[in-house]
């Protein structure tokens, strides 16, 4: 579908996506979900979220996901919405440096957190 169109346009990302899809077992399509849905639904409790929240969406993601990102950012108190330019639904795979920098910038703005260090700090999320 269109949700992965921008990812498929990048050969390296497309290969990784194909690997993910090929190895995904699809368990939930063949079995009943053993997890009970929360009551009330999470959607009805977004305003109760009290932790710092970053919502990231790709500029070229499908309209439904951009709408969801907008709702999350609007209804979660203090949430920050960041739109990554030129990428779609798999923004962390399509633009890992921009994605990681966006997360690091968000974290750096939180009180009491220090900058990450060590070899894993620059790896792709």
Residue 20's CB is within 10 A of a number of other CB atoms, namely: 11
Residue-wise pLDDT for 66-99, tens only, equals 999 999 999 999 999 999 999 999 999 899 999 9
Alpha carbons 115 and 122: distance in angstroms, whole number:
11
Q: What predicted TM-score, i.e. pTM, was given to this entire model?
A: 0.75
Residue-wise pLDDT for 9-56, tens only, equals 878 888 888 888 888 888 888 888 888 888 999 999 999 999 999 999
Confidence of residue 115 (pLDDT cuts 50, 70, 90): low
pLDDT at 28: 81
pLDDT at 79: 97
Alpha carbons 81 and 79: distance in angstroms, whole number:
7
Q: Are 66 and 91 in contact (CB under 8 A)?
A: no
């Amino acid at each position: 579908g269109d949700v992965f169109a921008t990812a498929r346009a990048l050969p390296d990302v497309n290969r990784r996506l194909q690997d993910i899809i090929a190895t995904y077992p699809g368990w939930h399509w063949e079995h009943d979900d053993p997890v009970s849905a929360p009551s009330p639904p999470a959607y009805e409790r977004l305003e109760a979220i009290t932790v710092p929240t970053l919502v990231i969406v790709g500029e070229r993601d499908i309209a439904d996901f951009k709408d969801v990102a907008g709702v999350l950012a609007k209804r979660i108190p203090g949430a920050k919405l960041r739109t990554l330019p030129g990428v779609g639904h798999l923004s962390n795979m399509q633009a890992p440096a921009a994605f990681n920098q966006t997360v690091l910038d968000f974290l750096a703005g939180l009180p009491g957190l220090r900058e990450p260090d060590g070899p894993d700090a620059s790896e792709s999320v």
